[in-house]
Amino acid sequence: MSALVVSTQMDDFKHYDLIIDARCPREFAEDHIPGAVNFPVVNDDEYAEVGTLHRTDPMGAYKIGVQYSLLNIARHLGESFDAYNRKSRILVYCFRGGKRSRLWFDALDVIGYRVERLQGGWKGYRRSVNEQLKSLPGTYRYNVLTGPTGCGKTRLLTALRLAGAQVLDLEELAVHRGSVIGAIPGHAQPSQKLFDSFLLRQLCTYSTERPIWVEAESKKIGNVQLPENLLVAMRAGVTLQVETSMQQRVKMWREDYAHFESDPSSLVAKLQFLRPLVGNAEVTAWEELAKQHEIPALFERLMRSHYDVAYRRSSLRNYPTLDSSPALTLDDLSPDALFPIAQQLIRQYG
């Protein structure tokens, strides 16, 4: 008789030494319990083969599926289980908590491991994630950093984290810096479901006794969307306006967007959709600066003519009392300069 875990709360998963996702790699890539390891009983091609055969010959499909599964489980056991013993606590799950996790459970149970199956599988877990994200964000207090692009908000969040604050870096979780040019070269964004999983895991690590420091964000960061309840809770938080000189902002852009330094025309190409908004003359000026490789001038003009205007409009819509919020001027965006400022902010705002 399989042991079942009733709860799918994120906090419960930290008690396991190993969490096995028995689904195929394609399913795992879309979403999984954070910290889980993908030991599929069938790979993507095998899963497709079994599914196709199942339409006409269910028993034959199960026979082939079990053959693949036994071979794959044997390989995983031989390659990946030296670090685990009979005291190790292991959780196994598949899509609905059915056949694939049962195959893993039976093998591990026979060996003598302390193994359990997740009731409802990934589908039950996913339902739990959605439910928790409706309520959990509203249980915290938020200190929200606002300010125009390039002013150092993200770097200040990093300093706050190093100084011991509770920090929620949404752009880090989303693997994206926000806006249409925010993609990070060589790094794909997580799926929406996987982003939700990462976000929930992060939220579950926080204490309600202290505020969470976060950067003001729009509804979407690249291709992922923030939960509405999180946005509502952030907008009810304490806001702090971050400011720095244009010289520092341009310097930061040159560091964070170095890939556009060598190919500024690709940057302007991504912004062509703004032509109806800012006008042909403005976009033409961007194109000319890119052509002449005038990087500092291009970055400054982009911020002054578009990003600053758009950010302020969006910020006032989401944070109507922004102009009455305290302001913090950063003269130096280096880690050494930001760390003592972060310490002071924690003493002042929690």
Residues 6+ apart with CB under 8 A from 310: none
pLDDT band at 11 (very low <50, low <70, confident <90, very high): confident
* Percent of the chain residues topping a pLDDT of 90: 93
Average pLDDT over residues 98-103: 94
Average pLDDT over residues 46-64: 95
| Residues 103 and 159 grouped into a single domain | no
Of 74, 99, 130, the domain-final residue: 130
User: Coil, strand or helix: which one is 199?
Assistant: helix
- From the list 91, 82, 69, 111, the residue with the least C-alpha distance to 18 is 91
Sign (positive/negative) of CA torsion 139, 145, 149, 154?
Answer: negative
Has residue 286 been placed in a domain?
yes
pLDDT band at 5 (very low <50, low <70, confident <90, very high): low
Q: Global pTM?
A: 0.93
CA distance 262 to 322: 37
**Would you name the residues annotated as active-site residues?**
94
Q: How many domains does the chain have?
A: 2
Has residue 331 been placed in a domain?
yes
Instruction: State the pLDDT at residue 213.
Output: 98
Average pLDDT over residues 9-27: 92
Instruction: State the pLDDT at residue 339.
Output: 98
Instruction: State the pLDDT at residue 1.
Output: 45
Instruction: State the pLDDT at residue 3.
Output: 63
Of 98, 130, 162, the domain-final residue: 130
Mean pLDDT of the chain: 94
Instruction: State the pLDDT at residue 8.
Output: 67
Query: Which CATH number fits the domain that encloses residue 93?
Result: 3.40.250.10
Query: Which CATH number fits the domain that encloses residue 276?
Result: 3.40.50
Distance, C-alpha 291 to centroid of its chain:
35
Average pLDDT over residues 75-94: 95
CA distance 235 to 297: 34
Amino acid at residue number 89: R
CA distance 119 to 240: 44
Q: How many residues does the chain have?
A: 350
Under the phi-then-psi rule, with left for phi > 0, alpha for psi from -120 to 50, and beta for the rest, what region is 315?
alpha
User: Coil, strand or helix: which one is 92?
Assistant: strand
| Residues 109 and 157 grouped into a single domain | no
Has residue 226 been placed in a domain?
yes
| Residues 108 and 149 grouped into a single domain | no
Instruction: State the pLDDT at residue 107.
Output: 96
Has residue 136 been placed in a domain?
no
| Residues 299 and 176 grouped into a single domain | yes
Tens digits of residue pLDDT in 213-265: 999 999 999 999 999 999 999 999 999 999 999 999 999 999 999 999 989 99
| Residues 101 and 151 grouped into a single domain | no
Average pLDDT over residues 288-311: 96
pLDDT band at 12 (very low <50, low <70, confident <90, very high): confident
Domain containing 289 equals 141-349
Average pLDDT over residues 294-314: 95
Instruction: State the pLDDT at residue 7.
Output: 62
* Percent of the chain residues topping a pLDDT of 70: 98
| Residues 113 and 162 grouped into a single domain | no
Q: Give the containing element (helix H, strand E) for 238.
A: strand 238-244
CA distance 320 to 78: 60
